[in-house]
């Protein structure tokens, strides 16, 4: 094998970055595998951190020394503490992020640790010797030895995107799925399942006259808290200016359009088989499951200070492109809005979290329960509110029972496996 690490982490999304940072802080030599350093801690769906329940998880990550709380405090563009009308136990911090600045902050924090090395390429196969996991093979043939392997799969394991009748393999829009890694992991005999999540259409900010819609009563301005409440107890007071988001509601026209086209929704015509998130339903789900509800809240959220895209929170869907355009234009104040890209649903594989209880029966051709353990780690990824991916991130950790080495000070270098084709996005988010 061409190099050796204490820990290799596959994927540089929220979960992968936290795993790499934690291991490096403990003194381990870490290899962090991704297709591009340009998309580290990328927010492919909702550009926000926290929210109900998820905000608590971010606080727990912070208490354990993680990055996410400090990153959002440094880069957030609107902060709110939700559920203030209830008891303090359910107060939930949430912050809108500038997705590009957030990613740059996290990458800089990882770059500051000399014992983290970037492995640029596509993860392919888990390597096993004498019933123990010993390394990772890249799709181009390069191999790396490790004592612990962390796999943060996100939505990429055999990912399949749905936009009405359109289907194409992808982890996210424009990003290839991870099929070789999925095949490798399945060879261990774990019980697998299929999940589904989704994202809403993106609108062109310049095509919406926010001031006029507010003045005419179609939009309500949603401002951040003053003063903002930080996520991290290590952060200084947040004193910078905050952006505004905008609240509007669905109407009868939206409801009628969904009902008239429900047979074209992959979620209801049998095209999608994965299980969707319970607490963040798609627009189709909301209309069908709550037929007596006259309207639903929609929030218009900028994806950054200078970003062109507006995220339509609460409007996730997998309907055909033409129906999505009609639905957007049926919303009050968005009659002239320009769609930059449609919403979609994505199905992906995951390992059942209960598999950690039955290692002997499920692991074959691999590590023994006495020397290895597999732990399902979803918290860091799912703490990124939204993408209505709200359960989108599933992470499996395969780690050695032996303590990681305390080696530090390895020279930083970037390894390129030259397998990215035209995509520069990570195989595992």
- First vs last C-alpha separation in the chain: 25
Average pLDDT over residues 376-389: 37
Pick the CATH number of 4-196+353-416 from 2.20.25.90, 3.30.70.1230, 3.40.50.300, 3.50.50.60: 3.50.50.60
What's the CA gap between 267 and 409, in Å, rounded? 50
**149 pLDDT above the threshold of 80:** yes
Interval 19-61: pLDDT, tens: 999 999 999 999 999 988 998 999 888 899 999 888 999 999 9
Instruction: Name the band, by pLDDT with cuts 50, 70 and 90, for residue 2.
Output: low
Query: Tokens 């709550």 map to which residue?
Result: 290
What pLDDT sits at residue 358? 60
301-322 core/surface letters (b: 16 or more CB in 10 A; e: else): bbbbeebebbbbbbbbbbbbbe
> Is the distance from CB of 128 to CB of 365 less than 8 angstroms?
yes
CA distance 331 to 337: 10
Q: Which of 230, 249, 246 is nearest to 238 (CA)?
A: 230
Q: How confident is the model at residue 188 (pLDDT cuts 50, 70, 90)?
A: confident
Q: Is the pLDDT of residue 224 over 70?
A: yes
- Same CATH topology for 4-196+353-416 and 202-345: the answer is no
Percent with pLDDT over 70 in the chain = 82
The domain defined by 202-345 folds into Elongation Factor Tu (Ef-tu); domain 3 (2.40.30)
Q: Which helix or strand (DSSP H or E) is residue 274 part of? A: none
Q: What is the pLDDT of residue 403?
A: 33
Question: Residue 118 pLDDT > 90, yes or no?
Answer: yes
| Collapsed DSSP state (helix, strand, coil) of residue 151 | strand
Q: Is-contact 198 345, C-beta < 8 A?
A: yes
Maximum distance among all alpha carbons in the chain? Answer: 71
Give residue limits of the domains in the chain. Answer: 4-196+353-416, 202-345
The upper half-sphere exposure of residue 408, i.e. CA atoms within 13 Å in the direction of its Cβ, equals 9
Specify the pLDDT at position 429: 27
| pLDDT the model gives residue 384 | 43
Can you give the pTM of this predicted structure? 0.81
Under 8 Å between Cβ of 153 and 428: yes
The per-residue pLDDT for range 280-324, each reduced to its tens digit, is 889 999 999 999 999 999 999 999 999 999 999 999 999 999 999
| pLDDT the model gives residue 388 | 37
Q: Are 122 and 141 in contact (CB under 8 A)?
A: no
* Confidence category of residue 130, pLDDT binned at 50, 70, 90: confident
Q: How far apart are CA 153 and CA 397, in angstroms?
A: 10
Residue 191 clears pLDDT 70, i.e. is over it = yes
How far is it, in rounded angstroms, from Cα 211 to Cα 220?
A: 10
Q: What is the mean pLDDT of residues 225-246?
A: 95
Instruction: Give SS3 for 113.
Output: coil
- Quick count: other Cβ atoms within 10 Å of Cβ 91? 16
The model's pLDDT over 322-342, given as tens digits with 9 standing for 90+, comes to 999 999 999 999 999 999 999
pLDDT (tens digit per residue) in 331-373: 999 999 999 999 999 999 998 888 766 644 554 544 433 333 3
What's the pLDDT band for 189 if we cut at 50, 70, 90?
confident
């Amino acid at each position: 094998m061409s190099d050796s690490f204490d820990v290799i982490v596959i994927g540089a999304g929220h979960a992968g970055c936290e795993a790499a940072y934690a291991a490096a802080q403990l003194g381990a030599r870490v290899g962090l595998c991704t297709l591009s350093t340009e998309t580290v801690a990328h927010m492919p769906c909702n550009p926000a951190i926290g929210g109900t329940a998820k905000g608590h998880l971010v606080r727990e990550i912070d208490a354990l020394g993680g990055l996410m709380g400090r990153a959002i405090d440094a880069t957030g563009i609107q902060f709110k503490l939700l559920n203030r009308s209830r008891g303090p136990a359910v107060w939930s911090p949430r912050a809108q992020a500038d997705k590009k600045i957030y990613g740059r902050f996290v990458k800089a924090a990882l770059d500051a640790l000399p014992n983290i090395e970037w492995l640029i390429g596509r993860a392919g196969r888990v390597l096993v010797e004498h019933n123990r996991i010993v390394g990772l093979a890249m799709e181009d043939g390069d191999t790396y030895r490790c004592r612990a392997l962390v796999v943060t799969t996100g939505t990429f394991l055999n990912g399949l995107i749905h936009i009405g009748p359109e289907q194409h393999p992808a982890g996210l829009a424009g990003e290839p799925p991870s099929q070789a890694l999925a095949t490798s992991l399945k060879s261990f005999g774990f019980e697998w399942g299929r999940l589904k999540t989704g994202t809403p259409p993106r609108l062109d900010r310049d095509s919406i006259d926010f001031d006029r819609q507010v003045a005419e009563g179609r939009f309500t301005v949603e401002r951040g808290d003053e003063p903002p409440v930080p996520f991290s107890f290590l952060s200084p007071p947040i004193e910078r200016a905050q952006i505004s988001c905008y609240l509007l509601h669905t109407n009868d026209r939206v409801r009628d359009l969904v009902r008239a086209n429900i047979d074209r929704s992959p979620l209801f015509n049998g095209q999608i088989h994965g299980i969707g998130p319970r607490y963040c339903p798609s627009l189709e789900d909301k209309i069908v499951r709550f037929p007596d509800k006259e309207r639903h809240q929609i929030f218009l959220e900028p994806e950054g200070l200078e970003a062109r895209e507006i995220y339509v929170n609460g409007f996730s869907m997998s309907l055909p492109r033409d129906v999505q355009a009609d639905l957007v234009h049926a919303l009050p104040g968005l009659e002239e809005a320009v769609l930059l890209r449609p919403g979609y649903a994505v199905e992906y594989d995951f390992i059942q979290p209960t598999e950690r209880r039955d290692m002997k029966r499920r692991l074959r051709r691999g590590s023994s329960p006495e020397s290895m353990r597999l732990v399902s780690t979803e918290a860091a990824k799912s703490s990124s509110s939204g993408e209505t991916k709200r359960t989108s991130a599933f992470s499996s950790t395969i780690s050695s029972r032996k303590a990681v080495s305390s080696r530090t000070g390895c020279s930083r270098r970037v390894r390129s496996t030259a397998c990215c084709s035209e995509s520069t996005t990570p195989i595992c988010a």
